[in-house]
Amino acid sequence: MLDKAKSLILRLCSSIRTLLTKHNACHLRVHDLDSTTVKRQTEPMPSAEPDHIPGFCRDCLCEVTEAARCPSCHSPRVIRHGRLHDLSIAHLDCDAFYAAVEKRDNPDLKDQPVIIGGGRRGVVSTACYIARIHGVGSAMPMFKALKKCPHAVVIRPNMDKYATAGREVRQLMRELTPLVEPLSIDEAFMDLTGTERLHRQSPARSLARLIKRIEAEVGVTASIGLSDNKFLAKLCSDLDKPRGFSVLASDEAYDFLAPRSVGFIWGVGKALKGKLERDGIRTIGQLQKAEKADLMARYGSIGARLYHLSRGEDARTVSPHGAAKSISAETTFSKDIRDLAHLERKLWRLTEKVSRRSKAAGLAGETVVLKLKTADFKIRTRNHKLDQPTQLADRIFRTAKPLLEREADGTPYRLIGVGISQLCSDHLADQGSLLDMDAGRRADAEHAMDKLREKFGVTAIEKGLGFEPRQPQDD
């Protein structure tokens, strides 16, 4: 009797699963190309519309369970998925971020191809989606990008502006949940588990509202990936860019991942991809068929990770301070440097960079690290642990300076770097110190300068050592 009941329940579960998977496959994907009105559907809608798949309109947020278009505002930006309202791990990534900020600030650029980049390195930082149609992409040499898109408008990066916009986006995310894990200036994971009661709506709806707020209040667009783990959420946010909203539940991940290249797995870079391919593993499906023990024997702990990720399994939690381990910047000199004063000026520039990035990410570090590379390629690293974490350029510099003084013994150096590690949230940073009564005043001065820079640009106000003429390699 019990067995019969069990088998009935199992059959029921399996039918529900099949139904859900079918329903899941029909969420609509619409691409917007910057401000242009070009819209296309990348996945055909199934001919028969299944009923009662949870869904809503991303423009007016009204409920849509049956139609492909919103019955209220007629927007095609309808998101539907069988598990739409019970998934709560999200990844948000702004679209063509630097370019979007520039377009926001100069409406004349709205319909033009825009490339952000330049400097002696001469590479593209990012390109707007109009420039991408011409084949321009991040990290492409500028000369190549301009060959592909000669009429593009090229703009030098204004990091302060992007950092401010990134901070504003993160602030809006934190209004939804404290569990925000920034990955870079324009992307972060969010765990919205248990937020339904507080926000009186599902995580999916909260996320759709968040995107609307980011567009209205920050003036840039972003894409969302929603799933039940970080790996799937991250790959999802990229599926439907720009202004995307993709949903993938872990129970549909196996089939979804199988035909894709191993390079699709977050963390599988060029080197590992090459290694896997040399071993005859090209698709994620091939990884799925491999035994865990075999993968571990061949690739060690990475093998175990590949085994689980290929199945869409990822147990990592969203941890607000767990993403970056350190924030650092370094520069290689065109000519070796021995002179302390000269090295200090380089150090100051890098310190400012590290501080800017830390402030942009809302992070601070407890340890300051100085790195030097001698003319004969020997690396020296020196650390100093602080009594409280910092993100201030002033404090990082004051900590790294004595470390540098000890090393500036006439040795010619070809590289200098500085960073902070043991990162934590900036709420805990720079609280003032009894040992250094002046620290609070200097911190206030630095924050005041940050505000001015936000308003007038990075070069509008420079402190002390920052007056050295900019070297192209410092870009």
Q: Judged by CB under 6 A, which of 32, 34, 181, 187 binds ligand DCP?
A: 187
Cβ distance to Mg ion smaller for residue 126 or 355: 126
Binding partner selected for residue 358 from ligand DCP, Mg ion, none, CB under the kind-specific 5 to 8 Å limit: none
Closer of 94 and 235 to Mg ion (Cβ): 94
Binds ligand DCP by CB under 6 A, chosen from 35, 75, 112, 138: 138
- Per CB under 5 A, the segment of 1-9, 97-105, 345-353, 450-458 that binds Mg ion is 97-105
Confirm or reject binding of residue 155 to ligand DCP (CB under 6 A).
Answer: no
By beta-carbon proximity to ligand DCP, the closer residue of 96 and 370 is: 96
Per CB under 6 A, the segment of 56-64, 91-99, 297-305, 312-320 that binds ligand DCP is 91-99
Minimum gap (Å) between residue 410 Cβ and ligand DCP: 36
User: What are the strands, taking DSSP E only, across 338-412?
Assistant: 363-374, 379-390
- Strand 245-247 and strand 222-227: the pairing is parallel
Check residue 34 for interaction with ligand DCP (CB under 6 A). Answer: no
Q: d(Cα 246, Cα 222) in Å, to the nearest integer?
A: 12
3-class secondary structure, 224: strand
The string over 73-95, giving b where at least 16 C-beta atoms fall within 10 Å of a residue's C-beta and e elsewhere, is eeeebbbbbbbbbebbbbbbbbb
Amino acid (1-letter code) at residue 323:
A
Spatial CA neighbour of 311 closest among 281, 283, 288 = 288
191/194 Cα distance (integer angstroms) = 9
Nearest to 432 by CA among 442, 423, 422: 442
Among residues 32, 34, 93, 181, the one that binds Mg ion under rule CB under 5 A: 93
By CB under 6 A, what part of segment 157-186 binds ligand DCP?
Answer: 185-186
Given the rule CB under 5 A, which of 95-103, 129-137, 254-262, 422-430 is the region that contacts Mg ion?
Answer: 95-103
Enumerate residues 235-274 that contact ligand DCP by CB under 6 A: 241-242
Using the minimum distance from each CB to ligand DCP, give the nearer residue, 98 or 307.
Answer: 98
3-state secondary structure of 307: helix
Amino acid at 274: G
Both tokens of 42, joined, read 């990348």
Q: Smallest distance from the beta carbon of 187 to Mg ion, in angstroms?
A: 6
Q: Is 34 in the site for Mg ion (CB under 5 A)?
A: no
Interatomic CA distance for residues 133 and 349, integer angstroms: 36
In 23-119, DSSP assigns E strands to: 30-32, 39-41, 55-57, 78-80, 89-94, 114-118
The site partner of 64 among ligand DCP, Mg ion, none (C-beta below 5 to 8 Å per kind) is: none
Q: How far is the CB of 172 from ligand DCP (least distance, A)?
A: 17
- Least spacing, CB of residue 318 vs ligand DCP, in Å: 18
Identify which range of 169-177, 186-194, 334-342, 459-467 contacts Mg ion by CB under 5 A. 186-194
> Which residue lies nearer to ligand DCP by CB, 134 or 311?
134
> What are φ and ψ of residue 228, in 5° steps?
-115, 10
Which of 34, 181, 186, 191 is in the footprint of Mg ion by CB under 5 A? Answer: 186
Nearer to ligand DCP, 242 or 389 (CB): 242
191 binds ligand DCP (CB under 6 A): no
Return the number of the residue (206 or 237) whose C-beta is nearest ligand DCP: 237
Taking the complex as a whole, the smallest distance from the CB of residue 94 to Mg ion amounts, in Å, to 5
Active-site positions read 187
Q: How far apart are CA 261 and CA 282, in angstroms?
A: 6
* DSSP assignment letter at 461: S
Q: How far is the CB of 185 from ligand DCP (least distance, A)?
A: 6
Q: Which does 172 bind (CB under 5 to 8 A by kind): Mg ion, ligand DCP, none?
A: none
DSSP 322: -
Question: Restricting to residues 355-414, which ones interact with ligand DCP according to CB under 6 A?
Answer: none
Torsion sign over Cα 353, 354, 355, 356: positive
Find out whether 423 and 363 touch, Cβ atoms under 8 Å: yes
How many helical (H) and strand (E) elements, i.e. helices and strands, does the chain have? 16, 16
Nearer to Mg ion, 93 or 102 (CB): 93
Q: Which residues are CB-neighbours of 264 under 8 A, at least 6 positions away?
A: 235, 257, 284
Minimum CB–partner distance for residue 184 and Mg ion (Å): 8
Q: Does 181 bind Mg ion (CB under 5 A)?
A: no
Which of the residues 92 through 131 are near ligand DCP (CB under 6 A)? 93-98, 125-126
Which range of residues in 42-50, 52-60, 87-95, 394-402 is near ligand DCP by CB under 6 A?
Answer: 87-95
Residue 44 DSSP code: P
Establish if 314 lies at the interface with ligand DCP (CB under 6 A). Answer: no
Characterize 265-296 residue by residue with b for buried, 16 or more Cβ atoms within 10 angstroms of its Cβ, and e for exposed.
beebeeebbeebeeeebebbbebbebeeeebb
Per CB under 5 A, residues contacting Mg ion are 93-94, 97, 186
Per CB under 6 A, residues contacting ligand DCP are 93-98, 125-126, 138-139, 185-187, 241-242
